[in-house]
Amino acid sequence: MLRNRNLVGWLQAAPLATVLLGFLVAPIAMIVIVSFWGATEYSIYPAFQFDNYQFLFNSPVTYTVFFNTLKYAAITWAFTLVIGFAVAYFLAFEIRSLKWQIALFLLCTIPFWTSNIIRMISWIPFLGRNGLANSTLISWGVIDEPLEWLLFSDFSVILAFVHLYTLFMVVPIFNSMMRIDRSLIEAARDCGANGFQTLWNVIVPLCKPGIMIGTIFVTTLVMGDFITVRFMSGSQRANVGRLISNDISLLQYPSAAATAVVLLCTVLIVIAVLLRLVDIRKEL
């Protein structure tokens, strides 16, 4: 019986396993292999050398860029967490009717199903030198000269990240909040807790799994990004993803692969730390 169950299970899981083997495991294995290869100006050749890693770790650029990547991840995380928590709290606890809850929740999730690139492009008329933000501030008399740091800067990069990824915080935190037994909150109030005490000692601890899942999403998405940074900084800022895509455009695949391996390890370490704190499967 057990064997039979295993067999049917395997057959049903086979398509998923095949796709993941072919397009996830094999590509990563290939990247690890190629990271030891050598490259000429126009081709790559099989070898087993550590040149790519040596170059990577000896270049000061690498450290700056990795630091930059972690900086983006940390700042974006902080903003998405605060905004995501507040939005989820509003939806879960302040909205009383289920119909409105669903409607407002969908309002927050719809942008997720539209194009990220368009959503980035749509910031240009806002942030540009002659954009809405600058002209509004000038007409209010807040500033005399247009602000230069609104577009093509760290500011615009992080703004775009927050814009794109806050949803990944809202959904899991909202999910956690909806499972909180409302009588716990009443009990806290009956015991004399004020609003903030209830929030901090009852709601936040119970939302931890949701916060963790959101954190994993946001940090990995930001750390692996290359397109937002390139577009929103007008190619003036760098993160690891851009380092990789630059190497790719120069056909320096082995060097790109080595950087990719280091990036992958960094991401995996971050996830491993976070996963120790929560069991994802229980939360679905």
Residue whose CB is less far from other proteins, 70 or 227: 227
CA 43 – CA 58 distance, rounded (Å):
24
CB of 210 to other proteins, least distance (A): 14
Cβ closer to other proteins: 23 or 63?
23
Residues 175 and 207: beta-carbon distance below 8 Å: no
Q: Which lies closer to other proteins via its Cβ, residue 61 or residue 279? A: 279
- Report the residue number, 65 or 267, with the smaller CB distance to other proteins: 267
CB of residue 177 to other proteins, shortest distance in Å: 13
Give min distance, CB of 206 to other proteins, in A.
19
Do the Cβ atoms of 246 and 229 come closer than 8 Å?
A: no
The tokens for 117 are 């690139």
Residue 231, by phi and psi: left (phi above 0), alpha (psi -120 to 50) or beta? alpha
CB 208 → other proteins: shortest distance, Å?
A: 18
> What is the Cα Rg of the chain in Å?
23
Nearer Cβ to other proteins (87/207):
87
Number of helices (H), then strands (E), in the chain: 16, 2
Cβ distance to other proteins smaller for residue 22 or 50: 22
Beta bridge partners of 44: 39
CB of 57 to other proteins, least distance (A): 19
CB nearer to other proteins: give 125 or 187: 125
**Residues 266 and 223 sit within 8 Å (Cβ to Cβ):** yes
| SS3 per residue for 71-116 | HHHHHHHHHHHHHHHHHHHHHHHHCCCHHHHHHHHHHHHHHHHCCH
16: buried, middle or exposed (CB in 10 Å: 19+, 13-18, 0-12)? exposed
Residue 39, H or E segment: strand 38-39
Closest approach, Cβ 19 to other proteins, in A, equals 5
Please, what is the minimum distance in Å from the beta carbon of residue 148 to other proteins? 15
